[in-house]
Structure formats: C-alpha cells, structure tokens
Amino acid sequence: MDIRIERVSPDKAKKKPEGALGFGKYFTDHMFLMEYTTGKGWHDARIVPYGPIALDPSAMVFHYGQEIFEGLKAYHAADGRTLLFRPDENAKRMNSSCHRLCMPEIPVDTWVECVKAAVKNDIDWIPTDFGTSLYIRPFMIATDPFLGVRASDHYYFIIILSPVASYYESGLNPVRIYIETEYVRAVRGGTGFTKCGGNYAASILSQSNAHTEGYEQVLWLDGVHREYIEEVGAMNVFFKIDGEIVTPSLEGSILPGITRKSAIELLTKKGYKVSERKLSVREVEEAADAGKLEEIFGTGTAAVISPVGELKIGGKHIVINDNKIGEVSSWLYNTLTGIQWGRIEDKNGWTVTI
C-alpha cells in the first residue's frame, strides 16, 4: 500500500505531555488520512501533520451522523517491542459498523497496515510509564456536500493517536455505577452493536445525570423490557454470582467488545464457569440480598478491567465486595495487561508486533 508521509517540521513538533496523561487529552504530531470515492474506492492514503480538517458545512456527517469509530492501543513492551492487541478484530468490527451504517468497508489487512503505519510514524509518542499506552482512534465520516438522506459517495478514514493512562479518574479503584431506568441506549435491530457516534450521543444525558449524582458511568438495561442488563457506557460488564461468571449475551443491542471476548477465553481456560446469557436486574438484586453477588467488573480497551464497587438500582445502593478489587477482576487485569504489555507469554497469538 502506498502511503505518502509528510512529517511535521521540527519547529512545529509538539512538546510531549508531562505528568498525568488522563484519557484522550493529548494528540501526537501526525494523523493518517485516506479518502473514498464511489467508483474509485479508497485512495490518497497519507500521514500528515495533526491538525484541523476542512469540511463543507453541508458534509453529510454533520446532518445525518454517518460516523463510526474504533478504539485500540499500542503498548510499549518491557523488551522494547511495540505491540498491538488483536487489531484484526477491530478491523472486522469496523467493517460490521460500515455495513450497518452503509459505509464502505476496508479490507482487514489494509486496515491493520494503516494503523501500523500511523503508530510507527509516531512511535516516540508511546508512553512508557506503568499502565500507559498509545490509544488509537480510527474513524470514518461521510463527506458529500448534500442534504438529502442517503449514503454518501465520499468518505474520510482518519486515524488519530493519543498517549493515555486510565480512562477513569479513579484509576484502578472500583467505579460507582448507576442503573439507568428512564432512558435506553439501543434496541435490537438498531445500531447498538456498532461503534457509531450516535450511540454515544444518545448516552450523554444519562451519563451526565449519573455524574451529577457521583457515579462514573451508566449501566444500560434492554430497551424493550427494561429488565435485562446490557452494558456500561464504555465497557461490557461481567457479574460473579455464586461462583458463576455471567455476562449478557450478544443479541444485537450491545457492543461485541474485544476485551469481553478475550476475557471470556482467558477465564474459561483458567477453569471458571463463564455464561453468556440474559441477566435480569432482579437476579442481580436477589443475589446481592442473598450475599451471592461476589464481583462485578467492566471490560474495555479504554477501561481495561474496571472493578465495580457500587451499584445504584432505583433507591437502593449495593456495595460489592466491600468496594475492593475482587479476585477474578484482579487475576484478569494482571493476565490481560501482562499479555498486552508483553510481560506474560501470549499463547493465543493475540499480540502483533510493529
């Protein structure tokens, strides 16, 4: 693949952030861009200095929201290698989002090559402190200057890179989560299984209400019965109830998380009983009342493995595992991050060296 590279001039190169990185606040010196035109396919792949992009105010993305994104990370391994974690899974999921949003797919190998090229070009931006990484945000937008509702004939595929630490301000400490009973995020047949911006736009009101009450994120219920657990704002969710690890099954309304899939494989291999099934709020409440709700944790690229210490269900507050990190969350965190940062042998062939 031919990628033109225009490097930032040394006097314009940014100063690397010092101190706490937080999440998604800093961006590297360059970005990757590629354009799509119906009849011509993907073309003009390039890496250019990071900066604003000019779009027509009538560009379709601004009006009808044809926008999708992905999220993965590049890790600086202890032996100096740069690793990606299952990037082909992100490429496949982006293509599934493309299909649902009527956007042009990118062959998996090409997608991974674009990501590798972008990371390689800004490799000195990968932070090295414990728990830090380079977050990779590939996204696609519709750019036709047109106000009719249809699929666009022109798109941009862009990759930006951001050195990050923990997604949550609380770091690895258990997060507090609020079960949303008024609003829903997605329904089967909709776009819940995709990473389209609209899903997140629809979640902001609840998220903001939760923040006002001192909760980090919202736990969504199914849109039909308002009874079954779906997922959290930026992560999939697992419950350990009386020894069984349960996570909601994928039925079209939740994101098929790559960390979720990896966690299921790791936990199953370790010998835990893991069930992908429907899980009602009532079952969670009853388990809590009976002292059988042993752990709750979320999984996600940004969130990694995040233990949940408190859950609000209506007027009731449930404290889980004394608000401490549980045994399963802790084992999973160490194993997954051990593989991602190259500290533990990757027996599954999940990591890709750049």
**Residues of this chain that bind ligand PLP (CB under 6 A):** 71, 231, 234-236, 255, 257-260, 299-301
Minimum distance, C-beta of residue 258 to ligand COI, in the bound complex (Å) = 9
If contact means CB under 5 to 8 A according to the sort of partner, which of ligand COI, ligand PLP, none does residue 164 touch?
none
Minimum distance, C-beta of residue 28 to ligand COI, in the bound complex (Å) = 17
User: What is the amino acid identity at position 250?
Assistant: L
Nearer to ligand PLP, 59 or 254 (CB): 254
In the bound state, the residue with its beta carbon closest to ligand COI is 71
Nearer to ligand PLP, 242 or 265 (CB): 265
Minimum distance, C-beta of residue 24 to ligand PLP, in the bound complex (Å) = 12
Nearer to ligand COI, 231 or 294 (CB): 231
Per DSSP, 8 falls in state P
Separation of alpha carbons 286 and 322, rounded Å: 17
Distances (CA, A) of 201 to 65, 100, 147, 195, 230: 10, 17, 21, 11, 17
If contact means CB under 5 to 8 A according to the sort of partner, which of ligand COI, ligand PLP, none does residue 255 touch?
ligand PLP
Burial label, 6 (beta-carbon count in 10 A; 0-12, 13-18, 19+): exposed
Minimum distance, C-beta of residue 8 to ligand PLP, in the bound complex (Å) = 29
Burial label, 78 (beta-carbon count in 10 A; 0-12, 13-18, 19+): exposed
Nearer to ligand PLP, 221 or 234 (CB): 234
Separation of alpha carbons 192 and 251, rounded Å: 9
Minimum distance, C-beta of residue 124 to ligand COI, in the bound complex (Å) = 23
C-beta separation of 119 from 74 below 8 A: yes
Nearer to ligand PLP, 30 or 185 (CB): 185
Nearer to ligand COI, 94 or 234 (CB): 234
If contact means CB under 5 to 8 A according to the sort of partner, which of ligand PLP, ligand COI, none does residue 98 touch?
none
Minimum distance, C-beta of residue 46 to ligand COI, in the bound complex (Å) = 24
C-beta separation of 166 from 172 below 8 A: yes
If contact means CB under 5 to 8 A according to the sort of partner, which of ligand PLP, ligand COI, none does residue 60 touch?
none
Q: How many residues appear in the chain?
A: 354
Cα of 351 vs its chain's centroid, Å: 17
C-alpha closest to that of 17 among 28, 9, 31: 28
Nearer to ligand COI, 162 or 321 (CB): 162
The structure tokens listed for 152 are 């666009």
State whether residue 23 is helix, strand or coil.
Answer: coil
The residue ranges that bind ligand COI (CB under 6 A) are: 71, 234, 300-302
Minimum distance, C-beta of residue 73 to ligand COI, in the bound complex (Å) = 8
Minimum distance, C-beta of residue 303 to ligand COI, in the bound complex (Å) = 6
If contact means CB under 5 to 8 A according to the sort of partner, which of ligand PLP, ligand COI, none does residue 177 touch?
none
Per DSSP, 319 falls in state E
Angle in degrees, CA 91, 150, 46, rounded to 5:
40
C-beta separation of 64 from 146 below 8 A: no
If contact means CB under 5 to 8 A according to the sort of partner, which of ligand PLP, ligand COI, none does residue 236 touch?
ligand PLP
Handedness of CA 333, 338, 340, 344 (dihedral sign): negative
Nearer to ligand COI, 22 or 71 (CB): 71
If contact means CB under 5 to 8 A according to the sort of partner, which of ligand COI, ligand PLP, none does residue 257 touch?
ligand PLP
